A and B are shown apart, each in its own frame.
Chain A
């Protein structure tokens, strides 16, 4: 079930009767402006996503792209760079004619992000496209730059008169990270909302664009059998894991300033928690879905300094083995300071203090260089109250566990107790498995393809709202502050392992981390 597909946006006046039944809902004519147009994200993700949308005929009927970056270059040179990036990173081999048609509508505006004249040139280019179209096109400004440039770009868009248009929609798409602390996030929200309305703003959390995350809503709210069990009466605990087997690669510059908690927990994993714990929204509109997610985040207590050591663990990987190879420790990685205390592993035990979830621990963990790449949500049910037969000679009756795997093999498995064939009543756990890959013909689109389209359509369901971002930071900020002030040595774990032993102390009696 797609959350928003098929729901027309921007409804004004009479409905369009021709849209009914179409899988691909029209997107209004748009000029997309990418700030940071020559950067890694643009090259690896955004441009290939735009090509794939073009290939499938899913771009608006009038679509222009303007790249903005510091270096002086001609339109032709930028088009050549776009072509190279698309050929290198597209998920399908480009069709030359389609690629040419897409690139024909690409322009480049050089300038530093604080240079007012660059915004003048940008405005002229936008105007030229509008005149060519015969009426104003919608505008979407995509901030694909380092986060320190967000405020200045937003300010210049405002002072340059580009943030609003009387006859067209203007939208702002902001990449993560949305601040590196609560204070920064609040300041950035203030700056954004001083220029734009919240309805114009689309904060990217690309996890929300993944089919697997959207499937969680379908799984919970389209199947009557789970919802009656989905509460404190039947659920013992919930574990959310996002483990990676790789190190930081070439991302030391970013990662050493961010760390595991900022990189994954503050945004993606708290969003997963929201999807698991939220109440059913009254409808799948952006506001209703986000209202329910915010309620979950608001129900998570903000840890006090004294609580932080009891509910969190952070650690750093040391040299070890991964994929049959010796691999270096974090401090030996290129670009990492030898005395860095950045965590590459973070685990939390959170609670959601509301009627449904009171007393149920939510365990979150993420890390680099762990034993395996896996992202999953494991819901452990309470054990049966009484067993009428002996467990002697068996692995015993274990609680039912429902595991939603997001990657690598997207699916759902349910652990059940079953009798081992024989004369005695001996029980062992068995798995009932459903794998998405076996049940659908279609290929999931890349998250960015979905998100760019939704932003151009004005559908904010899969984007993070300002109060969501701040609520996420209210949970994470006290933990980060306490970690920064702590004089305790940073725990370590061997690369390729299950993570630090210290993580076990987060577990309530009877709970265990699932094997990664």
Chain B
């Protein structure tokens, strides 16, 4: 929450004037105290519907320290003729001697359909040069925002927002051919991937990876794509050759071929799960061993069954990140490169009917 904010606004303005205001506000802030230092980490361009801008502002407030250092919000209202803008430079604390007070910059530009042809010339002067830029278009408008990919090194998507999981996977794949994709659906699987990797990490357990014969993933009804990416990750990491998904009793059933045996794959919606992402994951071997990881209070609930039928249950502590945490992680990931996402996405694409 900003405690200290400088604001400029203008109606019927130009990108030059907005950029000038940014520079002037920074000079003013620095003159007030040399403890004020502009953060220089990441540009983020958010193309949003003007009428839903408040909702986006709320979501971005939830990301905490993972805020982009310069946020350029393009608030779109098709019939708008005039370019209006607000610039806010804020710090989370008052400057104190010897301590930095980091400044974050937010630029809100309200624009209409008539500005779209020249969109890139409006936005280009507003992003900090030589700093990575992340593009986010949470209300759709994919084609409208597409020219901005030229300014961006990465794009933030949430594939679970797409009504059709198959189309979401295809769209992410098409985007990934142009730019680095940070997919929140993929990031929702991170704790699951970490724990599955940890379960099979002891040298003796690693041998069991070659014996996996069944994988079942239960997921939020809107998060089929997250489950597909999780299975795609397993397939790509373990060298499986996946076949196509087929519908069965409201679930998706598939199989993957390995050098030893086929792996039965199943994705099921968990109607009672209230948050997006996965509900539980079960991996089993032909010899009767299995492990299930499921959401629980204070972490993941693990249940392991040995080949002789013995069962053990325990909790692996860990806090839920919440949707704010997932979005914040998405912004942070714009500065990193995950080499396993693309192979997982390709495997997920290969399984589409």
Task: Identify the A interface with B (CB < 8 A).
Answer: 8, 10, 12-24, 26-29, 54-57, 59-63, 95-102, 104, 132-134, 372-373, 408-409, 435, 437-443
Do residues B199 and A95 form an inter-chain contact, with CB atoms below 8 A? no
B9: Cβ under 8 A from any A Cβ: no
Do residues B206 and A14 form an inter-chain contact, with CB atoms below 8 A? yes
What is the distance, in angstroms, from A133's C-beta to the closest C-beta of chain B? 8
Do residues B201 and A28 form an inter-chain contact, with CB atoms below 8 A? yes
Total residue contacts A-B, CB cutoff 8 A: 145
Known: A22-B193, A443-B65. A57 touches B202 (CB 8 A): no
B298: Cβ under 8 A from any A Cβ: yes
Known: A26-B197, A95-B298, A435-B100. A17 touches B207 (CB 8 A): no
Contacts of B193 in A (CB 8 A): 18, 22
Known: A27-B198, A62-B314, A372-B98. A17 touches B237 (CB 8 A): yes
Whole-angstrom distance between the alpha carbons of A104 and B296 in the complex? Answer: 14
Contacts of B206 in A (CB 8 A): 13-16
Do residues A13 and B203 form an inter-chain contact, with CB atoms below 8 A? yes
B42: Cβ under 8 A from any A Cβ: yes
B316: Cβ under 8 A from any A Cβ: yes
Contacts of A373 in B (CB 8 A): 98
Do residues B299 and A57 form an inter-chain contact, with CB atoms below 8 A? yes
Do residues A100 and B201 form an inter-chain contact, with CB atoms below 8 A? no
User: Closest residue to B335 on the A side, CB-wise?
Assistant: A441
Do residues B197 and A409 form an inter-chain contact, with CB atoms below 8 A? no
Whole-angstrom distance between the alpha carbons of A29 and B98 in the complex? Answer: 43
Closest 5 CB pairs of A and B: A57-B318, A97-B298, A21-B340, A101-B298, A26-B198
Do residues B317 and A19 form an inter-chain contact, with CB atoms below 8 A? no
Do residues B41 and A28 form an inter-chain contact, with CB atoms below 8 A? no
Q: Which of A8, A59, A101 has the most CB of B within 10 A?
A: A101
User: Closest residue to A28 on the B side, CB-wise?
Assistant: B202
Q: Which of B32-40, B154-162, B269-277 lies at the binding interface?
A: B32-40
Whole-angstrom distance between the alpha carbons of A54 and B316 in the complex? Answer: 8
Known: A57-B194, A98-B299. A17 touches B41 (CB 8 A): no
B319: Cβ under 8 A from any A Cβ: yes
> Per-residue 0/1 for B296-332: is the Cβ within 8 Å of any A Cβ (1 yes, 0 no)?
0111101000100010101111110000000000011
Do residues A442 and B201 form an inter-chain contact, with CB atoms below 8 A? no
Known: A61-B316, A95-B319, A441-B66. A22 touches B197 (CB 8 A): yes
Contacts of A54 in B (CB 8 A): 299, 317-318
Contacts of A27 in B (CB 8 A): 198
Do residues B41 and A439 form an inter-chain contact, with CB atoms below 8 A? yes
Do residues B207 and A435 form an inter-chain contact, with CB atoms below 8 A? no
Whole-angstrom distance between the alpha carbons of A133 and B310 in the complex? Answer: 12
Contacts of A18 in B (CB 8 A): 193, 196-197, 200-201, 209, 234, 237-238
Q: Which of A8, A372, A440 has the most CB of B within 10 A?
A: A440
Contacts of A55 in B (CB 8 A): 317-319
Within B331-346, the residues touching A (CB, 8 Å) are 331-332, 335-336, 338-341
Contacts of A28 in B (CB 8 A): 201-202
Do residues B238 and A17 form an inter-chain contact, with CB atoms below 8 A? yes
B147: Cβ under 8 A from any A Cβ: no
Do residues B100 and A56 form an inter-chain contact, with CB atoms below 8 A? no
B195: Cβ under 8 A from any A Cβ: yes
What is the distance, in angstroms, from A234's C-beta to the closest C-beta of chain B? 28
Whole-angstrom distance between the alpha carbons of A17 and B238 in the complex? Answer: 7
Whole-angstrom distance between the alpha carbons of A21 and B340 in the complex? Answer: 6
What are 8 A-B residue pairs whose CB atoms fall within 8 Å in the complex?
A18-B200, A18-B209, A18-B234, A26-B197, A26-B198, A55-B318, A100-B297, A437-B37
Contacts of A441 in B (CB 8 A): 41-42, 65-67, 331-332, 335
